[in-house]
Amino acid sequence: MKIEKLKSLILRPFLAGLIALAVGGGLFIYYYCYYENPSVASYVITGAIAVMGVLAWLSTIWFLINHLLRSKVKNNGQLVKASYVSHETHVSAAKVNYYSITYKYELNGKEYTKKSKSEFVWKEVLTLRAIKEFNIKVLNSRVVLDDDLEDLFEKNKELVKLEQQKYDEAYKQVDNLLRNS
């Protein structure tokens, strides 16, 4: 749903693949040409490192294709208003929770309810929840967010703060209930 910057999206897997292929290839040449009695494990480990490099490059291609499809939707899709329904999280990385949002929109007289991938951070979820309606573009059942989340946050800081206060108050009440029971 969100469109990430292409450079940051493909640079990491590309570099990881390049490093893994260089290490795997270098170790293979070392074991084959310069090491007198390499074990089978040496070649297996070298091959595993090289395979990881190939997989990283394949993921780079996958991310690139996905980005191009999202860009096509952003450029050619039909502009539609979507409504925030709910959010949930089941994904965290580096101590950061990533949320998926459920939203609904109407297109050609038919109402759709969809769930995004887990790609939003808490600040973005609060922003979408606070403004309640946001712009998306739809093309061939693919959906892309058409609003700039950072800009929406800046324009609606007070609403986002109010939403955060509601959550903070709810957490305090749950904490009090747990302490008193």
pLDDT tens digit string along 56-112?
999 999 989 988 999 999 999 999 999 999 999 888 888 888 999 999 999 999 999
Predicted model pTM: 0.75
Q: Are 152 and 127 in contact (CB under 8 A)?
A: yes
Q: Using CB atoms within 10 Å of the CB of residue 112, give its burial: 0 to 12 exposed, 13 to 18 middle, 19+ buried.
A: middle
| pLDDT tens per residue across span 118-137 | 889 999 999 999 999 999 99
Distance between start and end Cα atoms, the chain: 42
pLDDT band at 39 (very low <50, low <70, confident <90, very high): confident
Q: Which amino acid is at 44?
A: V
Q: pLDDT value at position 80? A: 94
Residues facing residue 144 across a β-bridge: 137
Instruction: Using the predicted structure, report yes or no on whether residue 11 has a pLDDT greater than 80.
Output: yes
Q: pLDDT value at position 110? A: 93
Instruction: Using the predicted structure, report yes or no on whether residue 141 has a pLDDT greater than 90.
Output: no
Q: Using CB atoms within 10 Å of the CB of residue 103, give its burial: 0 to 12 exposed, 13 to 18 middle, 19+ buried.
A: buried
Percent of the chain with pLDDT over 90: 61
Q: pLDDT value at position 124? A: 93
